[in-house]
Amino acid sequence: MSEKLNQLKEILGEVSDINHAASVLGWDQQVNLPPGGGEARGQQLATLGKIAHQKATSDEVGKLLDELKKEFAGVDSDDAAMIRVAARDYDKAVRVPSAFVAEQSIVTSAAFEAWVEAKGKSNFSLFQSHLEKVIGLVHKYVSFFPPADHPYDVLLDDYEPGMKTAEVQEIFDSLRPKQVELIKKISAVKQPKVDFLYKKYVEKKVWDFSEVIVTRFGYDFSRGRQDKAPHPFETSFSVDDVRITNRFEPDSPLATLFSGMHEAGHAMYEQGINPAYGRTPLAHGVSSAVHESQSRMWENLVGRSLPFCEHFFPEIKKAFPSQMEGVSAKAFYKAINKVNPSLIRVNADEATYNLHIMLRLELEIGMLTGKVAIKDLPEIWNAKMRDYLGIAPPDDAHGVLQDVHWSSGLFGYFPTYALGNIVSAQLWERINKEIKGLDEQIRKGKFDALLAWLRKNIHVYGRKYDPQDLIQKATGSRIDSAAYVRYLTKKYSDIYGL
């Protein structure tokens, strides 16, 4: 290994350490921090962010990357991939001043605390001024980069490298009418009974059962843990410390099971990355859409499948005998897959979920371009919910305040959720061709072959390949919604007898 490569790895390793330390503080902010600690935590995160940014964008790093790109030109190796990814990160980061990074940490930390209060009181006005500051910083961030085909391209590229707004809109425009048509067909037939899903459940029993499920999937609790937070998320501090959070909703108690599966899907991806990539830019998932494909696969393609229900239902019935009295595995399967336009994105069924994402994309673009005024956001949100799903939120908590993302400045992230659904179906078709009898394995509670396939074809590579190249390598094609449409059509045609 060259001396210059060693020097670069040492600096990038230190940057990784600082960023992971900041991530620990961010995790703690959502899990343990007392309400009064928010301002100080924001300053702490700002300091760490500024130090990491200064170190990552130093002239020394830039010079090393320039020299190493020449040295490793045309080389196909992990080190060459690391240099390519590090150079891309550097080229983006060097455009953003350290002072901006610190300011963003302070603003978003305060915005998160305001969002928690506003959501708790269902009062958007408590969050409005904070969101306006966040949007101001989003505009400033976009200004640091060369003009793109669309200003939203700059934001999207942070989560889905190389993807363009026009590409996403084209995919969504082709998908939307097919999903709307399917929803109309489903709404015209008899709906399954679901009342047993919404009875009173003991929170601890539901929580414990969620850990039973994700442990059996393959989430390694010796390298992870599950804690409570206002909004479920996964965070990684190293390949050997990958944590998830979850929540319990009394009005939708079993949602805890599915959010646990979802976050465990993210976490198993991070736990499966090549350990040799530790403390380098390769040691993370390649993109948000690919990451989301893992969480949605375990939550939906596995967790809401009939084989899954046939395996776990006897245990569910034993854990919740009064709630499941007179209920069969097939009835449970139909109930958890009922198509019913709903207010909350994270609880939406598969047939309607992407419409929630399309709504958010339109609002983000509107806020970015100035066509949507922040003060009008609740009203516009409610109008779009009526247009898209035929329902309107009764209050801000069930509407515009339901997601944590905007308080954290995560603009450009939402589209990747729907793209993740699409990629999950592409991967699923390939997996079922290569793993014979996968349904029967799931029916027996065996998930090791599935996890092994994902480890081999997706997880282990981290960021070594670009997202579209990784998907092409794993499935034989780039992101394409055809497999997702086939999956939805078959699944719901079977459930509803269409």
Q: How far is CA 113 from CA 85, 104, 116, 494, in A?
A: 34, 14, 5, 45
Number of Cβ within 10 Å of residue 323's Cβ equals 19
DSSP letter (8 states) at residue 301: I
Distance between CA 417 and CA 424 in Å, rounded? Answer: 11
Q: How far is CA 225 from CA 23, 263, 362, 363, 424, in A?
A: 15, 11, 35, 34, 25
- In this structure, what are the phi and psi dihedrals at residue 252, rounded to the nearest 5 degrees? -150, 65
- The C-alpha angle 362, 366, 369, rounded to 5 degrees, equals 140
Active site residue 263: yes
Q: Is 289 left (phi over 0), alpha (psi -120 to 50) or beta?
A: alpha
Question: In terms of DSSP bridges, do strands 226-228 and 241-246 run parallel, antiparallel, or are they unpaired?
Answer: parallel
Report helix, strand or coil for 245. strand
Q: Which residues, other chains included, contact 79 with Cβ-Cβ below 8 Å and sequence gap of 6+? A: 1, 5, 72
Radius of gyration of the chain (CA): 22
Contact 25, 88 (CB under 8 A): no
Beta-carbon-side half-sphere exposure of residue 118 (alpha carbons within 13 Å): 25
Contact 451, 218 (CB under 8 A): yes
First to last CA, the chain: 61
Beta-carbon-side half-sphere exposure of residue 251 (alpha carbons within 13 Å): 5
Q: What is the CA 341 to chain-centroid distance, rounded?
A: 21
Distance between CA 422 and CA 487 in Å, rounded? Answer: 10
Task: Identify the active-site residue in 263, 270, 292, 310.
Answer: 263
Distance between CA 454 and CA 459 in Å, rounded? Answer: 6
Report helix, strand or coil for 274. coil
Distance between CA 347 and CA 339 in Å, rounded? Answer: 11
Q: Which two tokens stand for residue 385?
A: 């919910």
Distance between CA 357 and CA 170 in Å, rounded? Answer: 14
Contact 164, 149 (CB under 8 A): yes
Beta-carbon-side half-sphere exposure of residue 391 (alpha carbons within 13 Å): 16
Please identify every residue annotated as catalytic: 263
